[in-house]
Amino acid sequence: MHIRKILSTLLLMTLLAGVMLAAGCQSGTPTNAPAEKVKVGVLYISPIDDGGWSTAHNRGFVMAENEIGKDKIEWVTKENIPDTDAAATETALRIMADAGCQIIFATSYNYMDTVEKLAKEYPEIKFEHCSGYKTADNMDNYFGQIEQPRFLSGIVAGLTTKSNKIGYVAAIPIPEVVRGINAFTLGVRSVNPDAEVHVRWTNTWFDLSLESAAANELLNLGCDVTSQHQDSAATLKAAEAKGVFGIGYDNPMGDAAPKAYLTAPIWNWGAYYTKKIKAVMDGTWSVEQYWGGMKEGMVGLDTLTDLVPQAAKEKVAEIEPMILEQGNDYVFKGPIKDNQGNEKVAAGTSLSKADQMGMDWFVEGVVGSVG
Amino acid sequence: MTDTTPLMVLAVFLASAVRYSMPLLVGTLGETVTERSGHLNLGVEGMMLMGGAAGFVTAIRTDSLVLSLLAAMGGAIAGALFYAVLTVTFRANQVVTGLALTLFGAGVANTVGKGAVHASTPPHIQAFFAWQPLRPDLSAIESVPVLGPAAVFLRTVLLEYNIYVYMAVLLAVVLSLLLHRTRLGLHLRVVGENPASADASGIRVAATRYGAILVGGALCGLAGLYLPLVHNGTWVENITGGRGWIVVALVIFVRWSPLRAMLGALLFGALEIIGFKLQGFPQLAGNPLFSQYIIGMYPYIITVIVLVANSARKKGGWRGPGALGLPYFREER
């Protein structure tokens, strides 16, 4: 009896709190016209101090705030909203919309359908969705060509390994991750045709124990350099504990494992975020499906540490200008075979953008299977 | 150079399984003590997180292993005390209270741990847990045929662990003796089987239950501390990742026995990492039975099977502490 009473009271209070929260947020009128101040919503999949994906986005928004002015931007942010939970996504987006945000950034792939739905309902709000493909009059998407620094980090790994076995801890078998593994491996094989890249899937973006379990399995196989498409530094720490080397991801990760860290492909969202928020302020916002590379500064390779062999430093310095010039065409330049031996890209051509976006096969040199 | 003979691959795998089983084992020992007193505490996940956060934050602030261990136990005991007061003294529903403790513990731990996210375990504590006190030097016989590899195999499987592992195994043995060979253990078991008869024979039911719940909490705290301090070397939100629930399942799986807990935890620890081993066999790729998602379900599937088998036992078989989950009202005798 008591428990029922307590529970019902609690439920009632929760509901009341929800109503008050919603009512309290209904202030502020959205507007299209040029504005002195702007209210920006940001939806994060993990806490902004995850040290990985969300930290990188947050770094971008901090830069935008510094560029535009702290007093000009008001933030409505929601962290730790799983992108597989459509109801939670919708609630969070509605809170931002009702709070009067003029532009909302949704920073994970699976937010896409919910963003599309809300974009229809709130035509006056600009929606920016990261890494997806859907657009509308007020819904844009954006992403970066992380394959370019991944290729360069592959060069570093290929010239660092002694066992010719490189480990790659990978999150989820989707084209974005497969593309990264392939770009990395192409980089490795461009300087070391004998090296193999062994892949282990964790099926999660962020789980320290699973990531380190996958890393340890690879290290036990004899891999002496690791790379990762994971949002934590667990793989690097595992490499450091084994006394070998590792390549990070998302952000500079040297602090986590200074004795193992070589470099990392990193995200620099700041310039894009500054541009789009400014565009909302001066009324020039448009849908552009931005896909920036190293040239645009959207992605980059972290400074090579002292652990990187001199030969690798020189090789990276030699190849980087060509990537700046040719972008992904350089990374995915034929001839490319898949790891079954079939020719996928003929010499003299490059993989088309559509084929890059849907990549579901591994290049020669990858040991593992997609999915 | 890594040894890739099948024997050594097996040895390294078993040794990793042992390391991954540690938080499960210590948590299971704690929850077994609690459940043996008749209290089902579903808040293991919450207590592990509270202990882990308190212990890890203390470790990086004070640089002291002893304080860190005390804080881990203290943090989890605070959660256990909350549960004990509600369920023993106020006789609240144990399931609801345990669930509340899970949510509460996660919230407290994530708040306490906020400043420690991505901090690293202090170097001397890292070194302490990298120390393998029982590892013998085999260089003299390593090259002897048969004997050499056999010795290296045994060393890898049995003697290359840190002190936490040996203490956990020792704890399992001690708890088993305590439960079955001492008066205190007898009292604990009677309280869990039939608190009314325990009360009638002069055993202090409430005090025994408080003790069991708090000791259980302390062990869950040490289990939770293993993940950030020893295993991952850093703290992040929800670092236990559901291992508290695996512990709840494990206690049933091993049928409340501290000795069987070692084998159960080893099995579940192996399940945690076997997926990565299987990915090395391309012929298994695409077989749904071996996908990481399905493997993640195995601990629960196995537990359900054991649960069903347990309740299908013939009359006379022991089905766990008789008073498990039931509040004790003296006046209802």
Question: Per-residue pLDDT tens for B56-105?
Answer: 999 999 999 999 999 999 999 999 999 999 999 999 999 999 999 999 99
Residues of B in contact with A81 (CB under 8 A): none
Residues of A in contact with B162 (CB under 8 A): none
**Same domain for A122 and A67?**
yes
Residue A202 touches chain B, beta carbons under 8 Å: yes
- CA-CA distance, B240 to B262, in Å (whole number)? 19
In a domain, A315, yes or no: yes
Strand pairing partners for A39?
Answer: A74
In a domain, A176, yes or no: yes
Q: Give the pLDDT confidence score for residue A149 in this predicted structure.
A: 97
**Same domain for A174 and A206?**
yes
- CA-CA distance, B117 to B125, in Å (whole number)? 18
Indicate the SS3 state at residue B313: coil
- CA-CA distance, A66 to A267, in Å (whole number)? 18
Q: Is A213–B276 a contact, with Cβ atoms under 8 angstroms apart?
A: yes
Q: State yes or no: pLDDT of B204 exceeds 80.
A: yes
Q: Mean pLDDT over residues B129-158, rounded?
A: 90
Angle, helices B44-62 vs B243-253, to 10°: value is: 130
Q: Give the pLDDT confidence score for residue A8 in this predicted structure.
A: 52
Residues of A in contact with B9 (CB under 8 A): 220
Alpha helices in chain B (DSSP H): 6-36, 44-62, 65-84, 94-112, 123-130, 147-154, 163-181, 183-193, 195-200, 205-225, 243-253, 258-278, 292-311
List strands edge to edge, sheet with A225-229. Answer: A261-263, A245-247, A225-229, A165-170, A196-201, A366-367
In a domain, A288, yes or no: yes
- CA-CA distance, B244 to A207, in Å (whole number)? 15
Instruction: Mention every residue, 6+ apart, whose C-beta is less than 8 A from residue A354.
Output: none
Strand pairing partners for A299?
Answer: A267
Residue A9 touches chain B, beta carbons under 8 Å: no
Residues of B in contact with A207 (CB under 8 A): 241
Q: Give the pLDDT confidence score for residue B3 in this predicted structure.
A: 67
In a domain, A328, yes or no: yes
The residue assigned the tokens 């690293």 is B120
Residue A172 touches chain B, beta carbons under 8 Å: no
Q: State yes or no: pLDDT of B243 exceeds 50.
A: yes
Q: Is B118–A49 a contact, with Cβ atoms under 8 angstroms apart?
A: yes
Greater model confidence, B282 or A136: A136
B-chain residue closest to A7, CA distance: B96
Q: Give the pLDDT confidence score for residue A33 in this predicted structure.
A: 56
Strand pairing partners for A200?
Answer: A169
DSSP labels, A203-218: S-S--HHHHHHHHHHH
Q: Is B280–A221 a contact, with Cβ atoms under 8 angstroms apart?
A: yes
Residue A201 touches chain B, beta carbons under 8 Å: yes
- When CB atoms are compared, the residue of A216, A232, A371 closest to B236 is A232
Q: Is B93–A51 a contact, with Cβ atoms under 8 angstroms apart?
A: no
Confidence of residue B115 (pLDDT cuts 50, 70, 90): confident
Bond before A335 cis per omega within 30 degrees? yes
Q: How many domains does chain A have?
A: 2
In chain A, count of helices (H) and strands (E)?
Answer: 12, 16
Query: CA distances (Å), A230 to each of A2, A212, B117, in order?
Result: 47, 11, 17
**Same domain for A199 and A98?**
no
Distance from the Cα of B271 to chain A's closest Cα (Å) equals 11
Q: A264-278, B136-150, B249-263 — which is least confidently predicted?
A: B136-150
- CA-CA distance, A90 to A16, in Å (whole number)? 20
Q: Give the pLDDT confidence score for residue A286 in this predicted structure.
A: 95
Domain edges within chain B: 6-313
Q: State yes or no: pLDDT of B183 exceeds 90.
A: yes
What Rg value do the Cα atoms of chain B yield, rounded? 21
Q: Mean pLDDT over residues B237-255, rounded?
A: 91
Q: Give the pLDDT confidence score for residue B318 in this predicted structure.
A: 79
- When CB atoms are compared, the residue of B12, B239, B280 closest to A208 is B239
- When CB atoms are compared, the residue of B227, B241, B292 closest to A201 is B292
Q: Is B232–A3 a contact, with Cβ atoms under 8 angstroms apart?
A: no
Distance from the Cα of A208 to chain B's closest Cα (Å) equals 7
Q: Give the pLDDT confidence score for residue A285 in this predicted structure.
A: 96
Give the CA count within 13 Å in the CB-facing half-sphere of B231: 29
Alpha helices in B201-313 (DSSP H): 205-225, 243-253, 258-278, 292-311
Angle ∠(B78,B84,B88) on CA atoms, nearest 5: 165
CATH number, domain containing residue A58: 3.40.50.2300
In a domain, A4, yes or no: no
Q: Is B233–A237 a contact, with Cβ atoms under 8 angstroms apart?
A: yes
**Same domain for A215 and A203?**
yes
DSSP labels, A125-184: SEEEEES----BTTEEEEEE-THHHHHHHHHHHHHH-SSSEEEEEE---SHHHHHHHHHH
Question: Per-residue pLDDT tens for A311-352?
Answer: 999 999 999 999 999 999 999 999 999 999 999 999 999 999
- CA-CA distance, B60 to B163, in Å (whole number)? 20
Q: Is A368–B277 a contact, with Cβ atoms under 8 angstroms apart?
A: no
Instruction: Mention every residue, 6+ apart, whose C-beta is less than 8 A from residue B181.
Output: none
**Same domain for A88 and A179?**
no
Mutate to test the interface with A, among B229, B236, B268, B278 (most CBs of A within 10 A): B236
B-chain residue closest to A253, CA distance: B118
Residue A297 touches chain B, beta carbons under 8 Å: no
**Same domain for A60 and A74?**
yes
In a domain, A233, yes or no: yes
Residues of B near A (CB-CB distance < 8 A)? 1-2, 4, 9, 12-13, 16, 20, 92-93, 96, 114, 117-118, 120, 130, 227, 231-234, 236-237, 239, 241, 272-273, 276-277, 279-280, 282, 285-286, 292-293
Q: Give the pLDDT confidence score for residue A28 in this predicted structure.
A: 39
Residue A84 touches chain B, beta carbons under 8 Å: no
- When CB atoms are compared, the residue of A198, A222, A234 closest to B232 is A234
Torsion B128-B130-B134-B136 (CA) sign = negative
Residues of chain A with pLDDT under 50: 1, 11-12, 15-31
Residue type, A92: A
In a domain, A195, yes or no: yes
- CA-CA distance, A225 to A260, in Å (whole number)? 9
Q: Give the pLDDT confidence score for residue B212 in this predicted structure.
A: 97
Mutate to test the interface with B, among A6, A242, A369, A370 (most CBs of B within 10 A): A369
**Same domain for A123 and A252?**
no
Residues B171/B174/B175/B180 CA torsion (nearest 10 deg): 160
Class in CATH terms, B6-313 = mainly alpha
Q: Which domain holds residue A48?
A: 38-144+269-292
Question: Per-residue pLDDT tens for A190-224?
Answer: 999 999 999 999 988 888 888 999 999 999 999 99
Tell me the whole-structure pTM to 2 decimals. Answer: 0.85
Q: Is B280–A209 a contact, with Cβ atoms under 8 angstroms apart?
A: no
Q: Give the pLDDT confidence score for residue B316 in this predicted structure.
A: 62
Q: Give the pLDDT confidence score for residue A47 in this predicted structure.
A: 86
Q: Is B16–A213 a contact, with Cβ atoms under 8 angstroms apart?
A: yes
In a domain, A273, yes or no: yes
